[in-house]
Amino acid sequence: MPELPEVETIRHGLSELIGCKVGDIFRSDKKLRIGSTLDLSLLNHKILNKINRRARYLILDFSGEYSLIVHLGMSGSIVLNSKDSATKNKLAQNKIEAKKHTKHDHFICEFNNGARLVFNDPRRFGFIDLIYTQNLWQYKMLAKLGPEPLLAQFNAQYLAKKLCHKKTNIKTTMMDNEIVVGVGNIYINESLFASAISPLRSASSLTKDEIAKLVKNIKNILKKAIKLGGSSINDYVNHEGEKGNFQNNFKVYGNNGKKCLLCNDIITKIVQNGRSSFYCKNCQK
DNA sequence: AAGTAGTCCTGAGTGC
DNA sequence: TGCACTCAGGACTACT
Number of domains in chain A: 2
In the predicted structure, residue A80 carries a pLDDT above the cut 90: no
Asked if pLDDT for residue A91 goes beyond 70, the answer is no
A47 within domain boundaries: yes
For residues A168 and A208, state if they share a domain.
Answer: yes
Closest nucleotide over all strands to A122 (CA to C1'): B10
**A21 and A64 assigned to the same domain:** yes
The CATH number assigned to the domain holding A233 equals 1.10.8.50
Residues A61 and A160 in one domain: no
> Does residue A190 register a pLDDT over 50?
yes
| pLDDT grade for A79, boundaries at 50, 70 and 90 | confident
- Whether A75 sits with its Cβ under 7 A from any strand C atom: the answer reads yes
A172 and A102 in a single domain? The answer is no
More confident residue, A214 or A247: A214
Chosen domain end from A111, A138, A165: A138
Range(s) of the domain holding residue A211: 156-280
The secondary structure of chain A, three-state, reads CCCHHHHHHHHHHHHHHCCCEEEEEEECCCCCCCCCCCCHHHHCCCEEEEEEEECCEEEEEECCCEEEEEECCCCCEEEEECHHHHHHCHHHHHHHHHHCCCCCEEEEEEECCCCEEEEECCCCCCEEEEEEHHHHHHCHHHHCCCCCCCCCCCCHHHHHHHHCCCCCEHHHHHCCCCCCCCCCHHHHHHHHHHCCCCCCCEHHHCCHHHHHHHHHHHHHHHHHHHHCCCCCCCCCCCCCCCCCCHHHHCCCCCCCCCECCCCCCEEEEEEECCEEEEEECCCCC
Is residue A16 located within the same domain as residue A87? Answer: yes
A148 assigned to some structural domain: no
Same domain for A70 and A17, yes or no, is yes
Question: In Å, what is the separation between the CA of A191 and the C1' of C4?
Answer: 38
Based on the fold, state whether residues A205 and A123 are members of the same structural domain. Answer: no
- Residue A100 pLDDT > 90, yes or no? no
Q: What's residue A235's pLDDT? A: 60
The yes-or-no verdict on residue A198 having pLDDT over 60 is yes
Find the Å distance, CA of residue A97 to C1' of nucleotide B16: 38
Average model confidence (pLDDT) for chain A?
Answer: 86
- Tell me the mean pLDDT in the region A229-250: 73
Q: In the structure, how far is the CA atom of residue A164 from the C1' atom of nucleotide B11, in angstroms?
A: 41
Nearest residue by alpha-carbon distance to C1' of B9: A123
Strand C lies under 7 A from the Cβ of residue A139: no
